[in-house]
Amino acid sequence: MTATVGVPRETFPGERRVALTPKACEALAKAKLAVLLEHGAGIEAGFPDAEYERRGVRLATRAELFANCEIIVQARTPGSNPVQGISDIPLLRPGQILIGYGDPLTAHAENSAIAATGAIFFATELVPRTTRAQAMDALSSMASIAGYESVLMAASALPKLFPMMMTAAGTITPAKVLILGAGVAGLQAIATARRLGAVVSAYDLRSEVKEQIESLGAKFVVLDLDTGGGGGGGGYAKAMDEAFYKRQRELLTEVIREQDVVITTAAVPGRKAPILVTAAMAEAMAPGSVIVDIAAERGGNCELTHAGQTVLHNGITIIGPTNLPSRAPVHSSQMYATNLVNFLKLITKDGEVNLNMDDDIIRETMVTKGGQIVHPKLAPAVPLPTAPLHEAPREAPAK
């Protein structure tokens, strides 16, 4: 029997993405999978219902979708949509597959509640960063968009131009931009700032990213610190102790003082973002300077950051953006949908669900199965009672 994939409308405030685009639904049809879409699910991303219907997608209510689909795909599952997403949990049933962002390392109550329904939950954040899994790596896809958007926000807020210009009124010197963290978001921020004409430098704990930074035309900032290589596995920098971060802040102060823009991207999965820029460091910058903190949803890399707000402090603008991929919902939905299609092809065969537990991607991405939390990083594989869910909103994960 052909499995049906359900696409609910996203309910997280300000979320404009859709899990599957019309083109992605065509690809699933070729893989012998049917698609059921909640009315209006793609409108915020620029994909009206008619575009889906042209590809053979059927429309349904939310309740019908959960009741009739073997697989549910979302941008934000209850763990990353902790207030509105609660209402979806009673709609899940044993053996039903749920796929999407779910903040699995911190959303313990939601993990337990999903497990109690008997549903199988795959968290897209947990897709391993390996060559074989690259086409399914939604976290990297969204980080790339976040890096791009962060530079546009900085350029818009900066009371200067980014590129050098030779004019009849004289020469305009280029803006100086510092990127802290050279992961996927940081590298995209470097490339975007360079394309806009800025003089770019970047700092990262991991010495191995020096070549990548310089290949994009930026200067690699070297600090006199013992990082032990700085790599924490999976493409992330490792968490360091507070003494290390204190010394790092002291050395970075002199670098930051000379910058027009600082973009911070440092995050460690499942943990609060480290403070890289203190209030004193920000105050050392010239009035009119801008800090864009991509890690705002994880507490921020700047001491002055407030998630979802723009703060003016001593003439310095500190921007704490949240859900940056939703600023470009067309392309973020296209990229995310492609990641999901590749994952769906992995867990199905000839139109039917086929979970090969010997596959490392399936095993490392699965959070719940058979009434248990089965991921080794989250909890032992034992039955869990239904856990009480948060009544009050909490910080959403950086996605």
Instruction: Cite the active site residues.
Output: 129, 134, 137, 140, 236
State which amino acid sits at residue 389: L
pTM over 0.95: no
Residues of the chain with CATH 3.40.50.720: 4-137+329-373, 147-326
Check: CB of residue 5 under 8 Å from CB of residue 37: no
pLDDT number for residue 228: 58
CA–CA gap between residue 136 and residue 123 (Å, rounded): 11
According to the model, what pLDDT value does residue 379 have?
A: 61
The pLDDT, as a whole number, for residue 239 is 58
Give me 265's structure tokens. Answer: 């991207």
Mean per-residue pLDDT pooled into runs of 10, the chain (399 residues): 94 97 97 97 98 98 98 98 96 98 94 96 96 96 97 98 94 97 96 98 90 96 68 52 74 93 90 91 97 95 96 97 97 98 97 96 96 83 41 37
Instruction: List the helix and strand counts (H, then E) for the chain.
Output: 11, 21
Residue 74 Cα distances to 95, 96, 102, angstroms: 17, 14, 9
- In three-state secondary structure terms, 82 is coil
State whether the Cα torsion 198-201-204-208 is positive or negative.
positive
CATH classification code of 4-137+329-373: 3.40.50.720
In 3D space, the residue among 208, 236, 7, 10 whose CA is nearest the CA of residue 126 turns out to be: 236
Residues 6+ apart with CB under 8 A from 259: 176, 177, 178, 201, 285, 289
Dihedral (Cα; 274, 276, 278, 283), 10-degree rounding: -150
Q: Which residue has the tokens 């890690």?
A: 295
Residue 399's closest CA among 307, 347, 345, 324? 324
> What is the dotted CATH code of the domain comprising 147-326?
3.40.50.720
In angstroms, what is the C-alpha Rg of the chain?
Answer: 22
Quote the CA–CA distance of 91 and 60 in Å, as a whole number.
15
At residue 227, the pLDDT reads 58
Distance CA 186, CA 179 (A): 6
